[in-house]
Structure 1
């Protein structure tokens, strides 16, 4: 890094917040999965929006690429710099203030570096619910959630991050600050600019704060672990539950026996909640009378729609059931690298996707291990592939382009999406070209050119 750039950045954020020592840089240069490793001139840690704007202006003037980074929990390499070493990594972790809670407007205003768990807790302290819920909520930050349009387990009831956002503050590529921190549910004054930045993975601007929706805190929640015979049976059960409980059904997760097996093997204190089954559903009902849920489940057991199951009798038991679902990614990571897919298809076509993809992959790669789980309530499946033997898995990982084509072709044939909630990052950048129309790609490039003409914001991601 040049002495001039170092001096300018140190003046903007303070010398202690410009990290250049290789040992200090290392955690910021590798993604959570260990798939991507990059290089950077330094890590810059601003403390507020004004400092972010100052850093961006310096980088714009010196034509220095910027990689925004939150909790560094991306599964697509979206927050990892490339290998050229030209970039500055802009870490937003110090922008971690809860700015305001408006109980009467049901909104919370927060800085982008706030941990998701901290936002949830601030909402609970005000007797409100912020419903975005992810396995990584203790480490991921709101800015990253916004930049990837995170989904999580309660999209079925509350929508993804895009639906939970009313306003944003964004530092633009030239260092100007756009203040869109309005907690309005109706605002028809032209283009809805905030939607450009949500899901853009830091390629169009750097989100520094947001106004988010809150909801009444549920007084009762009933959590169930249910054995089902197949994904088709799970979809049928979903629609039966929605017919009876409508918005009181707040989560409906699908877990395969293979996925559960990895958790039981690799995560301490994990226990099987019921008899073994090919597939499981983890369902959550909010504000529904527990007796009504129990009565409904008794009917499903009697009809054979559910083979076995348990209902959590306490918050601690519910937490243990959720841990089985939330620890799947960690359990698989312990087993080694896998080829991950985060896909979405219409809910009605989810069984068809699994049937087609499983068969095609088994034919092309005998002995493949499919770890399938996800949000059946909104058609979003995490479909992760590996070989149980470490040596065979190394060779299998080299087949990623062929594996991706099989999976993504099956998704595309069912009118689905190759990314539901993880984003594009580096992982799916080239795949995007295969499934987006030339018109869509041209429109996306036009937006990028208009907002970031020098191409300095998170280069190499998405486009």
Structure 2
């Protein structure tokens, strides 16, 4: 870095200290280290400072200073992302702007069924505040104890409730955003109907901080269900799971809130590394579905509906076996099986992860075709396939062959296997990123699979809103 560049960075950091206070501008390596590495430890960056504003006005002031000194900003929430979208580059010229101190719940309106929260509020806290008001905030994912609403919106997070409630975009009614010029757009209107021009809210959701910084949001709440009934069903194939999903939707309609697919190998892996989570059936079955109904009437009503559905599924040969949770503790144990799959994968060793979506009707064919292609390319590769079957989102991961060198496996095969998987996704008219975002991990892959028209439209939006390219450069778009 030249002397002039160093002087510019020093002037910027000094101005930031004056704007938000010395204590909230971190430059010491010990203090900044947690902000510079992504959750998977795949990306390690550097920064001239980590900035921790406490209000929207302070965020705006920092963005204006970034414009003056031409310093790029990397917004960060709970730093739980899986695609490197909140990690600075290695130059040391960028600044991380952490939204963790914007952690206030501004309002909860039970009649409007909304909660207005700042970007740094942790997802689990939003859920808790909703419960205290006898409401439900249905966004739920494994990182909910540390991820933040701002990050959830920046990546358009999905999770286990998308089938009934939609992803983060569907749960958001309004935003407050600091623009790349340091202006504040107050769109916190909490309206279900507002047909007064371009939908700016949807523009910022899923943009990963590349078009502006989300500082607050109005999120939808729902009535708390009177009862939840959870079950595990054993099936012969993903095709049978699709037929079972269709039956469940016909029988339960909007009461069906979860429909998670897990392969036999997924649960065997969980049992290997977490023996307390035992395999739920006496015999092995190729596929397991975890499904849940949420009923506003009563547990008796939900169980009766569930029993009718399972009886039909067994009669039609869609399901080979099933077990229904008898209490909340057993329901939690079922969900623990699902949620421990990524942890078991990590214990098993390095692996190649894919967060993909295809039309629900294509899931069976996608799994069969892609499994076969991978088996031919790398004999012995182990498929860890699980995900949100009800909305077409699969975590389609590849583990090294048993006893193999996982690091060598990644080095030798990752590029090829990514191409096999993504080409198959493309043939089935799917997406290479369903809920994790593009970040820096999939930026080149996205450009490869998107049409030139789509890429140019995105580039036009970026150039119009962020002409200096100071908002999270190197993410989503080159």
The residue matched to 1:139 in structure 2 has which SS?
coil
Moved more, 101-110 or 306-315: 306-315
Match of 1:443 in 2: 457
2:199 and 2:312 map into 1 onto residues whose CA distance is 46
2:137 and 2:321 map into 1 onto residues whose CA distance is 32
Match of 1:291 in 2: 304
1:69 and 1:186 map into 2 onto residues whose CA distance is 30
2:74 and 2:403 map into 1 onto residues whose CA distance is 33
Instruction: Give the 5 Å matches for 1:27-38.
Output: 27-38=34-45
Match of 2:193 in 1: 186
Match of 1:404 in 2: 418
Matched, 1:84 2:91: yes
CA, structure 1 residues 327+83, in 2 after alignment: closer, same or farther (shift >3 Å)? same
1:296 and 1:436 map into 2 onto residues whose CA distance is 41
Matched, 1:14 2:28: no
Deviations 1:109-151, CA, capped at 9 Å, x for gaps: 0001011111011111111111111111111110011001111
Alpha-carbon deviation of 1:256? Answer: 0.9
Between Structure 1 and Structure 2, how many residues are aligned?
Answer: 463
Match of 2:257 in 1: 250
1:11 and 1:265 map into 2 onto residues whose CA distance is 54
**Equivalent residues of 2:99, 2:120 under 8 A apart:** yes
Gaps of 5+ in 1: none
1:332 and 1:229 map into 2 onto residues whose CA distance is 23
Moved more, 448-457 or 311-320: 311-320
Gaps of 5+ in 2: 1-5, 296-300
Deviations 1:45-76, CA, capped at 9 Å, x for gaps: 11111111111111111111111111111111
**Equivalent residues of 2:251, 2:305 under 8 A apart:** no
2:31 and 2:399 map into 1 onto residues whose CA distance is 32
Which of residues 291, 303, 307 is equivalent to 2:320? 307
Alpha-carbon deviation of 1:388? Answer: 4.4
Instruction: Give the 5 Å matches for 1:398-437.
Output: 398=411, 399-437=413-451
**Equivalent residues of 1:49, 1:208 under 8 A apart:** yes
Which of residues 348, 358, 363 is equivalent to 1:335? 348
2:269 and 2:312 map into 1 onto residues whose CA distance is 31
Match of 1:171 in 2: 178
The residue matched to 1:291 in structure 2 has which SS?
helix
Deviations 1:309-363, CA, capped at 9 Å, x for gaps: 2111111211111111112112212223221111111111001110111111111
**Equivalent residues of 1:167, 1:210 under 8 A apart:** yes
1:362 and 1:182 map into 2 onto residues whose CA distance is 52
Which of residues 139, 155, 160 is equivalent to 1:153? 160
Match of 1:279 in 2: 287
Matched, 1:369 2:417: no
Matched, 1:26 2:39: no
Matched, 1:458 2:465: no
The residue matched to 1:289 in structure 2 has which SS?
helix
**Equivalent residues of 2:263, 2:386 under 8 A apart:** yes
1:142 and 1:247 map into 2 onto residues whose CA distance is 25
Which of residues 373, 383, 391 is equivalent to 1:378? 391
1:263 and 1:81 map into 2 onto residues whose CA distance is 34
Match of 2:243 in 1: 236
Match of 2:407 in 1: 394
Q: What TM-score, normalized to structure 1?
A: 0.97
1:379 and 1:390 map into 2 onto residues whose CA distance is 32
2:15 and 2:292 map into 1 onto residues whose CA distance is 52
1:268 and 1:55 map into 2 onto residues whose CA distance is 50
1:23 and 1:72 map into 2 onto residues whose CA distance is 17
Moved more, 123-132 or 292-301: 292-301
1:378 and 1:372 map into 2 onto residues whose CA distance is 15
Instruction: Give the 5 Å matches for 1:316-331.
Output: 316-331=329-344
2:388 and 2:120 map into 1 onto residues whose CA distance is 26
Q: What TM-score, normalized to structure 2?
A: 0.94
Deviations 1:393-447, CA, capped at 9 Å, x for gaps: 2122123221111001101101111111111111110001111111000000000
Deviations 1:275-332, CA, capped at 9 Å, x for gaps: 3321100000011521221232133234432122211111121111111111211221
